C-alpha cells in the first residue's frame, strides 16, 4: 500500500516537472485563466451603461426637451445625433451609429397639456435583439418616471399599483457578482479536460505510454498518476479565479472555503475522469484537442451560465443532468453569494460524485483491458 | 538531384508542382485521420444544431411563486395573469414562508407577493405588489423582475379599459424593433454561432498541423528539400480551406432553412465576407502552430485566443459598448467582432455598405497580416 503510494507520488512528481519545466507550458496554464477571468468580470453582463441614441424631436417644446433631458441625464443614454428627417434617422440606425432612435411627434406638448396621452416612438436596432430589448426597458423606466413627475406637476392621480422589488444575496443585482462567482471552478472545465486528455495522448504519441504498461504499475495506479496532476492544476486555477473575485472585484464571500473546495474537487474529479475516459479512445494529440473541444463547448455553453436552462428545449434540459458545469455553477454561486453549507448542496454534490466515480472506474477498467 | 531537375524547368511550374505535391500529402493525411474531417464537417453541424436549438435568451417557463395572501377577486385575477403567461411557470402559495422555502431550494427564481389588503388598498391609496428575486444569477433576476413588472402593468391597463378608475400614463412609448420585429433572440444568436463555429473550425483545423511536424521532426526533413516557406504555408491552407468551406455552407444552410434566420443582404457579400473570415481563422491557427512548435501549447493557446474572445469580445452575446475602455480596445484586436457585425448586418438588415466595407477591410487586413507573420516565422526557422 505504502509502496504503491510512493510509486504514484514519484510519477506525479515526474509529470508535474514535465509540465512546469517548459516556461511556455507554465504560462499557458496560469496566465489565460487570470486574463479570462478579468475579461468575464468586465464584459459578461447584460446590463447596459452606454446606449447611443438619436433624438428626432419634431415638437421642439418645453415638454419634449424635458423628456429628452431625462434621457440625457440618465448617465446611460448618450445622444449621438439629432436627425432632421426620417431618412437621416433611418441611415443612423442602419449604419449602427445608434442603438435607439427616439422620435417625438408634433403636438406632443399640446396633447399632454390638454390631458390626452401622447406617443413617443422608439425605434431599436434589433440586430442584437437582447441588447435592444434591455435598452427599450430603460426607456420605459425613464418615461414612467417622467409620467409620474408630469402628473404631479399638472395634477393627476398616482398609479394604483406600485411595484417594489427586493433582491436577495445580490442587492444591487450586479451581474458581475453572479458571473465571476459562477466561474470559480466551472472555468477550469475546458482547460483541465484538455490537459488530461492531451497528457495521455502525448505519452501515446511519443510511445512512452506503452513503456509504462510494461512496468509493474497497476491500472489504478496509472489512473491515479494521470488524474492527480490535472487535479492539482485545476485547484490552482480555481484559486486564481477565486482570488480575482475576492481581491480584484471585491465580491463579498458569504460561505466557507472548505465547502467550496469540496465542491471544486468533486467537480474536477468528474472532469478529469471524463478526460481519462476520452483518452482511452484517443491515439493522437490532434484527436484529443478536437474531441475535447467538441465536448467542452456544449458543456460550457449549455450550462446555464449564459442563457437560462429553463428556456432550453426539454430534451437538452434533460441532457444537462450529465453536465458537471451545471452543478459547479450552482455550487460556486450558492456557496459564494448565499453561504450555504454542504447539507444544502447534496443535489449538486451527489451527481458530481456519481460522475467522478463512474468515469474514473470505467477509465481504469478500459486501461486494465489494454494491459490484459 | 531534385534541385537540378527543378532548375531545368520554368521556376513557376516547379513551384506549382512542389506546392501541389505538398497539398496532396496534406490531403492524404487528412483522409487518413478522419478526426479533421469530423471537425471540418461534423463540428459545425453538431454545434449549430445543439446551440441553435439550445441557446435562447427569450424567457419561457421561468419558475416563480405567487404568494396570494389576499382572497379577493382582484388578487386572484392578478395571480391568474401570471398563471396564464407563457413566460412564467407559476406556483401558487398562500404564505411568504412557503415561497421563501421554495426560493432557497432554488425551485423558483422569484416571488410575487400580493398582500392581504391588496384589494382594499387598490381602491384607496394604491396597492403595493412586492417582487422578490434571487440575485444569485443577476441576469436572470432582472429578466424575472422585468417580465413580472410588465405583467402587473398589463393587468393595470386591462382594469383601466374595463372602466375602473385607473389613469394611464400621459406619455405612451410605442417601440419598434427593426430588423427583428418578432424579437427572436435566435436571429442574432445564430449568426453569432456561425462566427464561433467558423473561428473554432478554422483555428482548430490548422493549429496543430505545423506544430505536429515540428514535434515529429518531419519539418526538418522538409527544410532540406527545395520547398520554400510560402509554398509550405500554401499547402497547409488549401486543403483545410476547402474543408472549412464545407462547414461554412452547412452552417449557412442550417441558419436559413432550420432556424429561418432572415436573409436580407446579397449572397455575394455574405459569401465574400465569410470566406475572408475563414481565411483569418485559418491564418490564426497557422500562426499559433508555427510559433508554438508544440501541439500541447498550441492547443491551449487556441483555446485562449480563439474560443474565449470570440464568445466574449465579439458582440455575439454581450454588448460591446459597455465594458471599460481598455476592454473595448482589446476587442478591436480580435477578428470576431468585425465578422459578427458584418454577418448580423447582411442577414438581418441587408447590404448596408457603411457597415460592411469597414468590417470587410479590417478582416482583409488581418488575413494579410496573419499570413505575413506566419510566413516570416516560418522563414526564420528555415535559415
Tens-digit pLDDT profile for residues A323-369: 999 999 989 988 998 888 888 888 899 999 999 999 999 988 887 77
Share of chain A above pLDDT 90, in %: 23
Over residues B288-311, the mean pLDDT reads 82
Mean pLDDT score, B20-46: 81
Nearest chain A CA: its distance from B143 CA (Å): 9
Distance from the B107 Cα atom to the nearest Cα atom in chain A, whole angstroms: 12
User: Where are the domain boundaries for CATH 3.40.1710.10 in chain B?
Assistant: 62-161
Q: Indicate the SS3 state at residue B216.
A: helix
pLDDT at A115 over 80: no
User: Average pLDDT of B311-331?
Assistant: 81
A vs B, Cβ pairs < 8 A, gives 358
Q: Which grid coordinates are listed for B264?
A: 436580407
ipTM for the predicted complex comes to 0.75
A23-32, B269-278, B298-307 — which is least confidently predicted?
A23-32
Nearest to A294 among B46, B103, B344 (CB): B46
**pLDDT number for residue A202:** 84
Q: Which residue of A has its CA nearest to B166?
A: A160
**What local confidence, expressed as pLDDT, does residue B62 receive?**
84
Summarize pLDDT for B267-291 with one digit per residue, the tens.
999 999 999 999 999 999 999 988 8
Q: Is the domain B62-161 a CATH 3.30.1330.40 member?
A: no
Kind of pairing, strands B88-93 and B62-68? parallel
Per-residue pLDDT for B332 more than 80? Answer: yes
- The 3-state secondary structure of B17-53, one letter per residue: HHHHHHHHHHHHHHHHCHHHHHHHHHHHHHHHHHHHH
**pLDDT value of residue A372:** 57
The predicted structure's pLDDT at residue B381:
57
Mean pLDDT confidence for A189-207:
86
C-alpha radius of gyration, chain A, whole number? 28
* CB proximity list for B254: less than 8 A, separation 6 or greater: B45, B48, B49, B52
C-alpha cell at B342: 458584418
How confident is residue A293, by pLDDT bands cut at 50, 70 and 90?
confident
**Of the listed ranges A256-260, B56-60, B91-95, the one predicted with least confidence:** B56-60
- Strands (DSSP E) along chain A, which ranges? 51-57, 77-81, 100-104, 118-125, 161-168
Instruction: Tell me, yes or no, if A160 comes closer than 8 A to chain B by beta carbon.
Output: yes
Cβ atoms of A345 and A263 within 8 Å: the answer is yes
Give the span between the Cα atoms of A104 and B205, in whole angstroms.
Answer: 53
Q: Which of B36, B46, B135 sits opposite A168 (nearest CB)?
A: B135
How much helix, strand and coil, in percent to the nearest 5, is found in chain A? 70, 10, 20
Tell me: pLDDT of B195 over 80: yes
- Name which of A43, A129, A175 is nearest B139 (Cβ-Cβ): A175
Minimal CA separation from B93 to chain A, in Å: 19
Contact (CB<8Å) A169/B129? no
- Of A15-19, A162-166, B111-115, B168-172, least confident by mean pLDDT is B168-172
pLDDT at B187 over 60: yes
Kindly determine whether residue A168 and residue B134, on different chains, have CB atoms separated by under 8 Å.
yes
Q: Please indicate if any CB of chain B lies within 8 Å of the CB of A178.
A: yes
Residue A60 pLDDT greater than 70, yes or no: yes
Region of A102 please: left (phi>0), alpha (psi -120 to 50) or beta. beta
Q: Residue ranges of the alpha helices (H) in B266-352?
A: 267-292, 295-302, 308-312, 325-331, 336-344
Lowest mean pLDDT across A91-95, A273-277, B169-173, B279-283: B169-173
Q: What is the pLDDT of residue B312?
A: 80
Q: Which pLDDT score is estimated for B165?
A: 46
Cell, residue B76:
386572484
At A260 the pLDDT is 95
- Output the pLDDT for position B160: 64
pLDDT value at position B297? 83
pLDDT at B171 over 70: no
Burial of A84 (0-12, 13-18, 19+ CB in 10 A): exposed
- With cut-offs at 50, 70 and 90, classify the pLDDT of residue B162: low
146-185 of B, contacting A, C-beta below 8 A: 146, 148-149, 152, 155-156, 159, 165-181, 183-185
Q: For residue A165, what are the β-bridge partners? A: B131
What's the confidence (pLDDT) of residue B323? Answer: 81
| Higher-pLDDT residue of B327, B365 | B365
When pLDDT is averaged across residues B76-99 and rounded to a whole number, the result is 88
Q: Residue B204 and residue B196: Cα distance in Å, rounded?
A: 12
Instruction: Give the CA distances from residue A259 to residues A37, A270, A343, B24, B128, in Å, rounded to whole numbers and listed in that order.
Output: 22, 17, 10, 56, 39
* Residues from chain B contacting residue A316 (CB–CB below 8 Å): 50, 53-54
Q: pLDDT grade, residue B161 (50/70/90)?
A: low
- Higher-confidence residue of B128 and B59: namely B128
- What does the pLDDT read at residue B1? 43
What integer is the mean pLDDT of B61-88?
A: 87
pLDDT above 60: residue B6: no
B-proximal residues of A, 242-281, CB under 8 Å: none
Please report which confidence band the pLDDT of residue B153 belongs to, taking 50, 70 and 90 as the band edges.
Answer: confident
Question: A313 touching B, CB under 8 A?
Answer: yes
Q: What is the arithmetic mean of pLDDT over B25-29? A: 85
Contact B298, B208 (CB under 8 A): yes
For the domain spanning A51-154, the CATH number is 3.40.1710.10
Higher pLDDT, B126 or A331: A331
Closest CA relative to residue B211, chosen from B272, B270, B299: B299
Q: Where are the domains of chain A?
A: 51-154, 173-371
- Structure confidence at residue A163 (pLDDT): 67
Amino acid at each position: 500500500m505504502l509502496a504503491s503510494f510512493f510509486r504514484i507520488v514519484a510519477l506525479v512528481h515526474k509529470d508535474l516537472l514535465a509540465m512546469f519545466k517548459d516556461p511556455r507550458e507554465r504560462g499557458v496554464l496560469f496566465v489565460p485563466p487570470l486574463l479570462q477571468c478579468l475579461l468575464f468580470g468586465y464584459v459578461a453582463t447584460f446590463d447596459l451603461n452606454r446606449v447611443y441614441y438619436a433624438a428626432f424631436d419634431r415638437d421642439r417644446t418645453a415638454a419634449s426637451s424635458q423628456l429628452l433631458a431625462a434621457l440625457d441625464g440618465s448617465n446611460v443614454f448618450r445622444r449621438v445625433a439629432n436627425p432632421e428627417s426620417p431618412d437621416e434617422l433611418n441611415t443612423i440606425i442602419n449604419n449602427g451609429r445608434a442603438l435607439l432612435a427616439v422620435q417625438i411627434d408634433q403636438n406632443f406638448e399640446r396633447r399632454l397639456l390638454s390631458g390626452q396621452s401622447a406617443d413617443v416612438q422608439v425605434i431599436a436596432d434589433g440586430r442584437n435583439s437582447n441588447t435592444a430589448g434591455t435598452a427599450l426597458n430603460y426607456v420605459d423606466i425613464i418615461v414612467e418616471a417622467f409620467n409620474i413627475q408630469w402628473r404631479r406637476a399638472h395634477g393627476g392621480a398616482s398609479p394604483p399599483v406600485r411595484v417594489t422589488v427586493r433582491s436577495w444575496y445580490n442587492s444591487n443585482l450586479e451581474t458581475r457578482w453572479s458571473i465571476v462567482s459562477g466561474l470559480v471552478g466551472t472555468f477550469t472545465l475546458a482547460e483541465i479536460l484538455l490537459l488530461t486528455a492531451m497528457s495521455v495522448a502525448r505519452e501515446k504519441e511519443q510511445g512512452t505510454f506503452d513503456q509504462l504498461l510494461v512496468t509493474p504499475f497497476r491500472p489504478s495506479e496509472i489512473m491515479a498518476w494521470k488524474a492527480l496532476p490535472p487535479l492539482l492544476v485545476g485547484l490552482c486555477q480555481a484559486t486564481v479565479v477565486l482570488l480575482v473575485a475576492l481581491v480584484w472585484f471585491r465580491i463579498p464571500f458569504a460561505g466557507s472555503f472548505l465547502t467550496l473546495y469540496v465542491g471544486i474537487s468533486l467537480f474536477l474529479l468528474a472532469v478529469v475522469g471524463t478526460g481519462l475516459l476520452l483518452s482511452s479512445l484517443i491515439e493522437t494529440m490532434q484527436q484529443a484537442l478536437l474531441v475535447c473541444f467538441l465536448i467542452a463547448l456544449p458543456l460550457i455553453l449549455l450550462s446555464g451560465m449564459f442563457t437560462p436552462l429553463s428556456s432550453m428545449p426539454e430534451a437538452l434540459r434533460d441532457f444537462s443532468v450529465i453536465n458537471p458545469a451545471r452543478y459547479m455553477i450552482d455550487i460556486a454561486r450558492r456557496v459564494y453569494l448565499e453561504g450555504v453549507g454542504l447539507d444544502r448542496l447534496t443535489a449538486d454534490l451527489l451527481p458530481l460524485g456519481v460522475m467522478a466515480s463512474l468515469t474514473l472506474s470505467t477509465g481504469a477498467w478500459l486501461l486494465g483491458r489494454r494491459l490484459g | 538531384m531534385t534541385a537540378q531537375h527543378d532548375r531545368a524547368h520554368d521556376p513557376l511550374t516547379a513551384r506549382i508542382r512542389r506546392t501541389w505535391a505538398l497539398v496532396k500529402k496534406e490531403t492524404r493525411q487528412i483522409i487518413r485521420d478522419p478526426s479533421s474531417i469530423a471537425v471540418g464537417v461534423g463540428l459545425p453541424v453538431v454545434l449549430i444544431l445543439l446551440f441553435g436549438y439550445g441557446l435562447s435568451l427569450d424567457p419561457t417557463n421561468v419558475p416563480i411563486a405567487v404568494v396570494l395572501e389576499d382572497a379577493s377577486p382582484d388578487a386572484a385575477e392578478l395571480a391568474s395573469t401570471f398563471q396564464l403567461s407563457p413566460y412564467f411557470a407559476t406556483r401558487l402559495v398562500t404564505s411568504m414562508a412557503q415561497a421563501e422555502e421554495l426560493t432557497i431550494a432554488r425551485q423558483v427564481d422569484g416571488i410575487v407577493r400580493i398582500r392581504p389588503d391588496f384589494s382594499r388598498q387598490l381602491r384607496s391609496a394604491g396597492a403595493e405588489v412586492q417582487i422578490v428575486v434571487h440575485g444569485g444569477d443577476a441576469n436572470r433576476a432582472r429578466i424575472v423582475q422585468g417580465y413580472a413588472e410588465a405583467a402587473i402593468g398589463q393587468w393595470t391597463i386591462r382594469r383601466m379599459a374595463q372602466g375602473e378608475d385607473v389613469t394611464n400614463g400621459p406619455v405612451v412609448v410605442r417601440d419598434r424593433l427593426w430588423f427583428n420585429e418578432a424579437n427572436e433572440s435566435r436571429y442574432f444568436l445564430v449568426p453569432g454561432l456561425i462566427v464561433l463555429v467558423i473561428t473554432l473550425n478554422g483555428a482548430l483545423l490548422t493549429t496543430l498541423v505545423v506544430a505536429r511536424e515540428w514535434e515529429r521532426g518531419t519539418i526538418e526533413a522538409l527544410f532540406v528539400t527545395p520547398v520554400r516557406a510560402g509554398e509550405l504555408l500554401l499547402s497547409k491552407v488549401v486543403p483545410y480551406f476547402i474543408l472549412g468551406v464545407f462547414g461554412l455552407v452547412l452552417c449557412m444552410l442550417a441558419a436559413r432553412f432550420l432556424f429561418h434566420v432572415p436573409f436580407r443582404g446579397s449572397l455575394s457579400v455574405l459569401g465574400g465576407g465569410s470566406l475572408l473570415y475563414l481565411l483569418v481563422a485559418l491564418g490564426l491557427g497557422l500562426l499559433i502552430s508555427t510559433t508554438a512548435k508544440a501541439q500541447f501549447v498550441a492547443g491551449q493557446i487556441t483555446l485562449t485566443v480563439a474560443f474565449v474572445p470570440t464568445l466574449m469580445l465579439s458582440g455575439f452575446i454581450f454588448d460591446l459598448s459597455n465594458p471599460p475602455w481598455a476592454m473595448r480596445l482589446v476587442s478591436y484586436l480580435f477578428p470576431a467582432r468585425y465578422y459578427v457585425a458584418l454577418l448580423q448586418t447582411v442577414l438581418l438588415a441587408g447590404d448596408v455598405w457603411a457597415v460592411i466595407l469597414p468590417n470587410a477591410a479590417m478582416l482583409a487586413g488581418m488575413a494579410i497580416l496573419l499570413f505575413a507573420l506566419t510566413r516570416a516565422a516560418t522563414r526564420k526557422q528555415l535559415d
